[in-house]
Amino acid sequence: MKHEHLLAQMKNRMPEKRFIHTKGVAETAITLAKMYGEDYEKAEIAGILHDSVKYANQEWLRSIIVSEKMNPLLLNFNHELWHAPVGSYVARTEFQISDQDILQAIEFHTTGRAGMSKLEKIIYVSDMIEPSRKFSGVELLREIAKVDLEEAMTSCIKHSISFLIEKKQPVFPDSFHCYNDMIQQRGTVKE
């Protein structure tokens, strides 16, 4: 990896298991970026930084969402979602990342959104399929990602929404918008 200095800074911010996950996301993102013609350095940076504040204090996360005037709807949902937009803020302010595509890939890696860039899709998919992930269906998602990024993104957001519904958890609206956009872009809406 070219950005070992960033990776080293993540080591102290998270438990070992999450650090392994972070390395896995970065490596998977590099692979997918090369496969789908995206800038693999940008993919690596976004992969390394995507969970930079996953273990930050909940009240601090809340305060950043409020002070930076982020989507206030976030505060009505599980705090697990908060690390993504605040992580984007930290990437910009602490790590001096100015590339908007990297910042958005970090910001939307938990929810997805309508109109995702290729890099955003790569980070979302990489987060779900990296090698340390173990859940029913992950192998199929990995196989799909090897042949069709759009189908992998559609399958991953569908899996995520289904998981939340099955657990009787609310689904952030961006996730529904993402799913709808992916289906409509593919022209697979059934009448």
For 125-180, what is each residue's pLDDT tens digit?
Answer: 999 999 999 999 999 999 999 999 999 999 999 999 999 999 999 999 999 999 99
pLDDT at 190: 54
pLDDT at 187: 74
> Encoding tokens for residue 24?
């896995």
| Listed residue (144, 142, 143, 99) closest to 120, CA to CA | 99
- Residue 50: phi, psi to the nearest 5? -60, -35
CATH class of 4-186: mainly alpha
- Dihedral sign for Cα 141, 166, 117, 184, please: positive
Stretches where the chain sits below pLDDT 50 are: 191
